[in-house]
Amino acid sequence: MKSITDKYWKIPCPYIPGDTQKKMAREFGIAPEIIHLLANRGICEDEQLRKYLYPTLHDLDDPLTMKGMQEACSIMYRAAVTGGEILIWGDYDVDGVTATSLLARFFKMLNMRYRWFIPDRFTDGYGLNTRHIQRLVEEISPEKMVLVTVDCGIANLEEVLFAKKLGCQVIITDHHEPGDKAVSADAILNPKQRNCEFANKHLAGVGIAFYLAMGMRAFFKEQGYFKGKNNIPNIKDLLELVAIGTIADMASLQGGNRVLVKAGFEVINTSPSPGVAALLTASDIHSANITAEDIAFQLAPKINAAGRLDQASKAVALFLTDDPRQAELQAKKLTVLNQKRKDQCSECLELTLSMIPEPPYDSLSCTLLRVEHSIGVLGIVASQIVEKTQRPAILVADAEDRKWGTVLKGSARSISGVNIYELLSKCSDLLLQYGGHPMAAGITMRPEKLGELEKRLSQEIAGICQSPPEAAPIDLEMDLEHVLQRSMIEQLQLLEPFGIGNEKPLFLDKKIILQDIKLIGKNGDHLRLTKRGRFENKPCIAFKFGRFVDTLRQRPHFDMIYTFSLSRFRKAEQWQGRLVDLL
């Protein structure tokens, strides 16, 4: 059935629980509707349900089965016992910041010598560079230095060779797609590399950093490192960083990632570090009830703002401090930066939209634009362009690069079914540098190549066979009053964290009446409204539905497709319906 937003939806049949689902519901202490919802997602066996609803860290894969882990742990052990120094080289996004912070905190637990470095987005760019390697090595005896990358390095062939020629040992931990040529590091931790049998191929960079900590802990224990003065570190507290980085990087939230993030939520809710506690306070999150949306829309943007507009080191410093007062000051600085980032994004989006033809948009095409804005906001704006046009978008801006001089640097975002990394690979002869994932990538290129890149990308995308859009499924027909009951909300929260691969359930409420419809947001883009109930009215929020305000006010009733969300408006927590679409 087609909706007011021109999407197609598959209407669910009324649900009547069978004896088997009733029995399973009793065994797991949840409503049959939850059992049915999970069964629709392929989670129906007892052990599958147990691992999904009540995962434990024992469900994680053995870190020593990851290709390169034994070598990495051996190198780290030698550094620990001989007084070597570790240089953690991170990235300036949330994944890189949390991964850098995680290893720094872990090495501190081990009483190892370490330092960390994150390049400047504007002057250094992404990944390793020889200038800073040379500078940092000069400050340390190179034969005693181990360079460990997090969330980067898999494509830095030249830079790794340079570090090794200086006498360093190099360990790469990265989750980006490996290139055709393998980097010549002493150890590589990346589940996507060839012949790696590690089951979880979708770890974020911070997830791989945590597995390195797990592997080292087991390896060091086997070697007797913890006998005497060295205590065995409790690394569960580090999972708060894994949860934040994994959600922010939009990694899959199935399998092992779900275990890691779920455990990270427990840490955040019960014993957050001073830095995370300060971020929660700065985001007006005051209860032990963290959600994936809190991280994605409140915490992550503040962390990201440091690397987008200033120095990512400010975010790392927040996570490494033990002083609550210092953490509070750092969190406030990130909040100010984030507001500045929001203003720049709004300005850039408005200008970019003015450069794009009016709809209807051709999905078998690509938006490629050169804009005059900070490269730090291009990724966010590209995502917003994709959301509006439903086609891939690449935004580039002028930049100065120490290696290549005057260049264009930018960010690419894509849609389901179009692997932007593969597309860029096919155009690699036009690029100086590129890297990323199927849905997001970064590029560096010569300005004169822009026209040819646009032409080539359009040809490549046109060659992708796209079938007509399928009707999206709705999980259950259930009225909003029932979903927002306290007992049902508590059971639905067992399904957290929500995100890629574990989307929030969608419900259908038929023949509803909407009232108290008000435009909200800076430009009236959103709606606040109320669903009239039989005994009690229920609050709803409708993001990006401002353009439909007249339609909603004029029609007597709708079939509402919705999910649930936690409103923290003016520090008053309230569960509400979040409108997804109307039929």
Q: What is the CATH number of the domain that holds 129?
A: 3.90.1640.30
AA letter at 315: A
The number of beta carbons lying within 10 Å of the beta carbon of residue 356 is 14
As a whole number, the mean pLDDT across the chain is 92
Instruction: Tell me how far CA of residue 427 lies from CA of 124, 261, 415, 431, 461, in angstroms.
Output: 24, 36, 18, 7, 12
Same domain, 530 and 442: no
pLDDT at 143 over 90: no
Burial class (CB in 10 A: 0-12, 13-18, 19+), 263: buried
Query: Please, what's the largest Cα pairwise distance for the chain?
Result: 76
Instruction: Work out the angle between the directed axes of helices 94-109 and 205-222 (0-180°, nearest 10).
Output: 20
Same domain, 433 and 512: no
Does residue 155 lie in a domain region?
yes
What local confidence, expressed as pLDDT, does residue 523 receive?
Answer: 83
Question: With bands split at pLDDT 50, 70 and 90, how would you rate the model's confidence at 473?
Answer: very high
Region of residue 390 (left: phi > 0; alpha: psi -120 to 50; beta: else): left
**Straight-line distance from the first to the last Cα atom of the chain, in angstroms, rounded to the nearest whole number:** 8
- Of all residues in the chain, the percent with pLDDT exceeding 70 is 98
pLDDT at 152 over 80: yes
Does residue 494 lie in a domain region?
yes
**Cα separation, 578 vs 484, whole angstroms:** 11
Pick from 420, 436, 462: which residue ends a domain? Answer: 462
Burial class (CB in 10 A: 0-12, 13-18, 19+), 6: exposed
Same domain, 392 and 516: no
HEC sequence for 313-376: HHHHHHHHCCCHHHHHHHHHHHHHHHHHHHHHHHHHHHHHHHCCCCCCCCCCCCEEEECCCCHH
Same domain, 213 and 87: yes
What local confidence, expressed as pLDDT, does residue 458 receive?
Answer: 83
HEC sequence for 242-279: HHHHHHHCCCCCCHHHHHHHHHHHHHHHHCCCHHHHHH
What local confidence, expressed as pLDDT, does residue 468 receive?
Answer: 66
Within 8 A by CB and 6+ apart from 150, the residues are 88, 89, 90, 91, 96, 99, 100, 103, 173, 174, 205, 206, 208, 209
Same domain, 423 and 534: no
Average pLDDT over residues 575-582: 96
Q: What is the tens place of the pLDDT at every residue in 390-411?
A: 889 999 999 988 888 999 999 9
**Cα separation, 294 vs 118, whole angstroms:** 26
Pick from 462, 494, 510: which residue ends a domain? Answer: 462
Question: With bands split at pLDDT 50, 70 and 90, how would you rate the model's confidence at 467?
Answer: low
Q: What is the tens place of the pLDDT at every residue in 115-130?
A: 999 998 888 888 899 9
Same domain, 105 and 209: yes
Question: With bands split at pLDDT 50, 70 and 90, how would you rate the model's confidence at 6?
Answer: confident
The alpha-carbon radius of gyration of the chain (Å, integer) is 25
Burial class (CB in 10 A: 0-12, 13-18, 19+), 463: exposed
**Cα separation, 465 vs 89, whole angstroms:** 40
What local confidence, expressed as pLDDT, does residue 464 receive?
Answer: 75
Does residue 42 lie in a domain region?
no
pLDDT at 228 over 60: yes
pLDDT at 562 over 80: yes
What local confidence, expressed as pLDDT, does residue 478 receive?
Answer: 95
**Cα separation, 439 vs 200, whole angstroms:** 19
Average pLDDT over residues 230-246: 94
DSSP SS3 for 150:
strand
Does residue 325 lie in a domain region?
no
What local confidence, expressed as pLDDT, does residue 364 receive?
Answer: 65
**Cα separation, 249 vs 95, whole angstroms:** 6
Does residue 165 lie in a domain region?
yes
The number of beta carbons lying within 10 Å of the beta carbon of residue 14 is 7
Angle at 246 between CA 157 and CA 366, to 5 degrees: 70
Identify which of 96, 322, 91, 114 has the alpha carbon closest to the alpha carbon of residue 216: 114
**Cα separation, 261 vs 59, whole angstroms:** 13
Same domain, 424 and 541: no
pLDDT at 360 over 80: no
Residue scoring higher pLDDT (459 or 159): 159
Same domain, 551 and 421: no
**Cα separation, 39 vs 473, whole angstroms:** 14
Please give the order of strands across the beta sheet that includes 538-542: 476-477, 507-512, 558-567, 574-582, 538-542, 526-531, 514-520
Pick from 462, 485, 517: which residue ends a domain? Answer: 462
Q: With beta carbons less than 8 A apart as the criterion, state whether 25 and 583 touch.
A: no
Window from 44-53, 136-145, 544-553 with minimum mean pLDDT: 136-145
Question: With bands split at pLDDT 50, 70 and 90, how would you rate the model's confidence at 229?
Answer: low
Same domain, 132 and 73: yes
Four-residue CA torsion sign, 414, 418, 419, 420: negative
DSSP result, 443-483 = EEE-GGGHHHHHHHHHHHHHTS--PPPPPEE--EE--HHHH
Same domain, 426 and 483: no
What local confidence, expressed as pLDDT, does residue 124 receive?
Answer: 84
- Please provide residue 10's backbone torsions phi and psi, each rounded to the nearest 5 degrees: -95, 115
- Please give the structure tokens belonging to residue 466: 């796209």
Identify which of 436, 385, 444 has the alpha carbon closest to the alpha carbon of residue 415: 385
pLDDT at 361 over 60: no
pLDDT at 362 over 90: no
CA 556 remoteness from chain centre: 40
Per the omega criterion (within 30 degrees of 0), is the bond before 191 cis? no
What local confidence, expressed as pLDDT, does residue 466 receive?
Answer: 62
What local confidence, expressed as pLDDT, does residue 470 receive?
Answer: 80
Same domain, 146 and 201: yes
Instruction: Work out the angle between the directed axes of helices 313-320 and 324-354 (0-180°, nearest 10).
Output: 150
Same domain, 79 and 197: yes
- Please give the structure tokens belonging to residue 224: 């007797």
Q: What is the CATH number of the domain that holds 482?
A: 2.40.50.460
Does residue 181 lie in a domain region?
yes
What local confidence, expressed as pLDDT, does residue 169 receive?
Answer: 96
Identify which of 102, 383, 381 has the alpha carbon closest to the alpha carbon of residue 244: 102
Does residue 546 lie in a domain region?
yes
- Domain extent, residue 363, equals 355-462
**Cα separation, 180 vs 195, whole angstroms:** 14
Does residue 276 lie in a domain region?
no
Per the omega criterion (within 30 degrees of 0), is the bond before 360 cis? yes
pLDDT at 359 over 70: no
Parallel, antiparallel, or unpaired: how do β-strands 145-150 and 85-89 relate?
parallel
Average pLDDT over residues 497-526: 93
Window from 84-93, 294-303, 399-408 with minimum mean pLDDT: 399-408
- Domain total in the chain: 3
What local confidence, expressed as pLDDT, does residue 438 receive?
Answer: 85
Identify which of 165, 144, 216, 154 has the alpha carbon closest to the alpha carbon of residue 189: 154
Q: What is the CATH number of the domain that holds 409?
A: 3.10.310.30
